[in-house]
Amino acid sequence: MPQDLTVGYLLQHLQNLDPNLRVRIAVNPDFPFAHFLGTNLVINDGLVYLVEDGQEGYLPTAVSDRLSWA
């Protein structure tokens, strides 16, 4: 996966998914957590920022394992 994702990359990988699926951000500072994705997008200097909107809790173990964050 590219380090600098593009809008096109995200659209390509999301377009065939159920549009009713909920979205979370997986974050691994020291312990893997799931975060809500905010509805605001900020565009600045050619970058689109997806906004984090609070922590949901620990990331499910199955997700941590798939990301090799165990």
Average pLDDT of span 41-57: 87
The Cα–Cα gap between 14 and 56 comes to 22
Q: What is the pTM of this model?
A: 0.71
The Cα–Cα gap between 23 and 26 comes to 10
Burial of 36 (0-12, 13-18, 19+ CB in 10 A): middle
| Tens of pLDDT, residues 11-40 | 998 899 888 988 888 888 778 898 998 888
For residue 70, pLDDT beyond 70: no
Domain-by-domain residue ranges, the chain? 23-70
Tell me the two tokens of residue 41: 């997008």
Average pLDDT of span 54-70: 88
Average pLDDT of span 46-60: 88
pLDDT of residue 3: 66
For residue 1, pLDDT beyond 80: no
State the alpha helices, DSSP H only, in 1-70.
Answer: 7-14, 61-66
The answer to whether the beta carbons of residues 35 and 3 sit under 8 Å apart is: no
